[in-house]
C-alpha cells in the first residue's frame, strides 16, 4: 500500500474512532474498565461518620485535630490489544474484510483508552508473536498503532493464539486490561494459557466473523480457499446437507468458544462484518457494568 493511501486511511479511521470514543464510549468505557484500586488523594478534617481507620495520625498530631486521608479510584490503566494478523482475517463477503472491522474496533478502543489517560500497547500475532509495541500514552502513539494495523505484513498466515497469550503473561508484569481481537479460527488449545492470563489480567475476547461463516448461500458449485494453508477445494452449496453441516460446524465451534470463555471468566462478544460494531461494544460494556 502506498504511503499516501495509508495516511488517508489512517486519517479516516482516526476521525471515526475519535468521534465514537468521545461521543459514545467515554462514560461506558470508564465504568466498564476499572482502575487498579484506590489511591491517596488528600487529607481533610475528620467528620462524624468517617472511618477511624482513615485517620492520618501524623497530620492529626501536627494540628491537634483529627484529619482523615481521602482516597479516590486510581483510574490509569494499561491496555493491551492482542491483534490477530493471520491469513483468515483477509476475508469478507458483505461490507468489509474481517481485518478492516478488527482495525476499526481496535482503533476505537485505543482512542477510548487515551481519553481516559490510559497507556496502550499492541501484540500482533499469527502462529507466533509478529510484533510487540510496548504500552505508551498519546495521540502520536495511537496513530502509529493504526498505521501498523493497516500496513503490517505478517511473516506467517497461520494462527497460534496460545503463544500470543503466553507472551502477554510474560511481558506484562502488572495487571492490565487486554482485548483479544481475532476471528478465533485457531487449531491450538489455548484454554490453559487463557486461564492463566485471566487470573492475572482483565481479559476480554472480541470475535470478528463474516456472516458466510454462519450460513452458506445456495449458489451452486463454489471454489473455496483456506487462506492459512493455501488449500483449495470445491463445495456444492446447492446440496442442503452440506449447507446444514456448515451451519452445524459454526454452532458447535461457537459453543466450544463460549464454554472456554465461561470457564476462564473472560467477557466476550462476537461481531459480524454486517453488524454495527458500536451497538455490540456497548452491549459488552453494559454486561460488564451489571
Tens of pLDDT, residue by residue over 146-179, are: 999 888 899 999 999 999 999 999 999 888 999 9
pLDDT value of residue 94 = 73
Residues of the chain with pLDDT under 70: 1-4, 6-7, 23-32, 34-41, 70-76, 289-290
- Rounded to two decimals, the pTM is 0.80
Closest CA to 66 of 49, 90, 47, 88: 47
Question: Are 68 and 141 part of one and the same domain?
Answer: no
Residues 178 and 132 in one domain: yes
What is the domain range of residue 67?
Answer: 37-74
Domains contained in the chain, number = 2
Q: Give the CATH number for residue 120.
A: 3.40.50.410
For residues 275 and 151, membership in a common domain is answered with yes
What is the per-residue pLDDT across 243-252, written as a single tens digit (0 to 9) for each?
899 899 999 9
Domain shared by 63 and 135, yes or no: no
Q: Among 74, 97, 132, give the residue marking a domain's end.
A: 74
Query: Taking the CA of residue 270 as centre, how many other CA atoms within 13 Å lie in the half-sphere pointing to its CB?
Result: 17
Assess whether 212 and 163 both reside in one domain. yes
On whether both 105 and 57 belong to a single domain, the answer is no
156 and 46, same structural domain?
Answer: no
Of 74, 103, 137, the residue at which a domain comes to its end is: 74
Q: What is the pLDDT of residue 290?
A: 66
Domain end marker among 47, 74, 101: 74
Residues 6+ apart with CB under 8 A from 79: 33, 109, 110, 113, 118, 119, 120, 121, 135, 176, 177, 178, 179
Same domain flag for 66 and 187: no
Question: How crowded is the C-beta side of 217, counted as CA atoms within 13 Å?
Answer: 7
pLDDT in the model for residue 39: 47
Examine the domain organization and report whether 57 and 111 are in the same domain.
no
Matching residue, cell 481496535: 106
Distance CA 109, CA 123 (A): 15
**Could you tell me if 211 and 69 lie in one domain?**
no
- Residues 217, 251 within the same domain: yes
Amino acid at each position: 500500500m502506498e504511503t499516501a493511501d495509508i495516511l488517508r486511511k489512517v486519517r479516516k479511521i482516526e476521525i471515526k474512532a475519535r468521534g465514537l470514543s468521545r461521543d459514545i464510549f467515554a462514560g461506558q468505557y470508564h465504568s466498564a474498565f476499572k482502575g487498579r484500586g484506590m489511591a491517596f488523594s488528600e487529607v481533610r478534617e475528620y467528620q462524624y461518620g468517617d472511618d477511624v481507620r482513615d485517620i492520618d495520625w501524623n497530620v492529626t498530631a501536627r494540628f491537634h485535630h483529627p484529619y482523615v486521608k481521602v482516597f479516590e479510584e486510581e483510574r490509569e490503566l494499561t491496555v493491551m490489544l492482542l491483534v490477530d494478523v493471520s491469513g483468515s482475517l483477509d476475508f469478507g463477503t458483505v461490507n468489509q474484510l474481517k481485518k478492516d472491522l478488527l482495525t476499526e474496533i481496535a482503533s476505537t478502543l485505543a482512542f477510548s483508552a487515551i481519553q481516559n489517560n490510559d497507556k496502550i500497547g499492541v501484540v500482533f500475532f499469527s502462529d507466533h508473536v509478529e510484533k510487540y509495541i510496548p504500552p505508551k500514552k498519546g495521540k502520536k502513539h495511537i496513530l502509529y498503532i493504526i498505521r501498523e494495523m493497516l500496513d503490517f505484513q505478517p511473516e506467517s498466515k497461520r494462527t497460534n493464539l496460545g503463544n500470543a497469550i503466553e507472551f502477554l503473561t510474560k511481558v506484562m508484569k502488572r495487571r492490565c486490561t487486554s482485548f483479544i481481537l481475532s476471528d478465533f479460527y485457531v487449531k491450538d488449545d489455548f484454554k490453559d494459557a487463557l486461564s492463566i492470563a485471566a487470573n492475572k489480567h482483565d481479559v476480554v475476547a472480541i470475535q470478528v466473523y463474516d456472516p458466510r461463516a454462519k450460513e452458506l448461500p445456495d449458489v451452486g458449485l463454489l471454489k473455496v480457499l483456506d487462506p492459512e494453508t493455501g488449500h483449495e477445494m470445491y463445495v456444492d452449496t446447492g446440496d442442503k446437507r452440506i449447507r446444514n453441516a456448515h451451519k452445524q460446524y459454526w454452532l458447535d465451534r461457537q459453543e466450544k468458544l463460549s464454554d472456554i470463555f465461561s470457564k476462564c471468566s473472560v467477557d466476550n462478544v462476537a461481531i459480524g462484518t454486517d453488524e454495527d460494531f458500536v451497538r455490540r461494544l456497548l452491549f459488552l460494556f453494559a454486561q460488564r457494568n451489571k
